Amino acid sequence: MPEKILIVEDEQTLQETLAYNLTRQGYEVETAGDGIKALEVARKAHPDLIILDIMLPGIDGFEVCRILRQEMTTPVLMLTARDDEIDRVVGLEVGADDYLTKPFSMRELLARVKAMLRRVRLMREEFSAASSEPATPSQIMTFGNLVIDITRREVRLNDQIIPLKPKEYELLLFLAQHRGQVLSREFILERVWGWDYIGDSRTVDVHVRWLREKIEAQPAQPMRIVTVRGAGYRFEG
C-alpha cells in the first residue's frame, strides 16, 4: 500500500502544489487547511507522515504538533515562513522531527519526505524483528535504577516507565550502547537521524536536554549524559 501523507497548509496554492507533487511520487495524500481539521484527519487517517505549517488559522502548528505528539508517534515535518531559530527550536520542543523554511524547493521537500519515511520503515522493521524474539539479557540494559528494554522499546526509571518520543529513545539507546565514549554531535546526528538528515547539530542538543529532564535526578547537573566541552556528549550510565 502507498504511504500516506497529511498536508496541513492554509495557503491553497501551496497545499495543491504539495499534494500534486507528492501524489506524483506515489504517495497517498490527505489535506487540511486549519488546525482543527488537521487533528480530525490525522486521527481518522493515521498518516505515515505529517507536513505541518506553523501559521494556521485557529490552532497554530505548534499546538497541533503538541496535541498530536501526545496521541501518536507519526513523524512531523514543520514548515515555517521565517528563518527564525526560535521557530525551529520551539518546533523541536513540541515534538516535530524536522523543519523546512519557506520558500523551499520542491526537490528539497521531497528529499526530506523520502528520508523521514525511510527511517520510519527501518524503525518498524527493527521493532518487528525484536518483537518476534524472546527477551535475552543482551536486550535489556541496566544502569542502576535506569533500565532500557530493547525488545519492548521501553525505558524504566525506578521501575516506572518513562514516556519517550521515538527519537529520544533512539538517542538514549545509541548513547547507552557507546557508554563511556565521547561522541560528537555530528556523529550522533549521522547515526541516530541518518546521514541524509539535513538539519543541524542543535537538534542533538535539544533532544539531550529532553532526555536529561526525564532520566537525570538533577537535569542542570547531569550525571548520566555528560557534556564534554568542545567535543560532544558521553553516557556514564
Give, for all 237 residues of the chain, the pLDDT tens digit.
Answer: 889 999 999 999 999 999 999 999 999 999 999 999 999 999 999 999 999 999 999 899 999 998 988 888 888 999 987 666 666 666 677 778 888 888 899 999 999 899 888 877 776 666 555 555 555 555 889 999 999 998 888 899 999 999 888 888 989 999 998 999 999 988 888 888 776 565 667 888 989 999 999 999 999 999 999 999 889 999 998
Nearest residue to 97 via CA among 235, 182, 206: 206
Phi, psi of 129, rounded to the nearest 5 degrees? -65, -40
Give the pLDDT confidence score for residue 58 in this predicted structure: 86
Give the pLDDT confidence score for residue 132 in this predicted structure: 54
CB atoms within 10 A of CB 31: 18
Peptide bond into 103 cis (omega under 30): yes
Q: Could you give the CA distance from residue 55 to residue 84 in angstroms, rounded to a whole number?
A: 13
What beta strand segments (E) does the chain contain?
4-8, 28-32, 49-53, 76-80, 98-101, 140-143, 146-149, 154-157, 160-161, 182-183, 225-228, 232-235
Q: For residue 25, which amino acid is it?
A: Q
Give the pLDDT confidence score for residue 190 in this predicted structure: 81
With 0-12 / 13-18 / 19 or more C-beta atoms within 10 angstroms meaning exposed / middle / buried, residue 144 is: exposed
Give the pLDDT confidence score for residue 129 in this predicted structure: 57
With 0-12 / 13-18 / 19 or more C-beta atoms within 10 angstroms meaning exposed / middle / buried, residue 221 is: exposed
Per-domain residue ranges of the chain: 4-123, 134-235
Give the pLDDT confidence score for residue 12 in this predicted structure: 95
**How far from 187 is each of 73, 118, 171, 190, 211, CA to CA, in Å?**
24, 19, 12, 5, 18
Which CATH code for domain 134-235?
A: 1.10.10.10
Fold of 4-123: Rossmann fold (3.40.50)
Q: Could you give the CA distance from residue 66 to residue 93 in angstroms, rounded to a whole number?
A: 9
Tell me how many helices (H) and strands (E) the chain has: 8, 12
Nearest residue to 209 via CA among 158, 167, 176, 153: 167
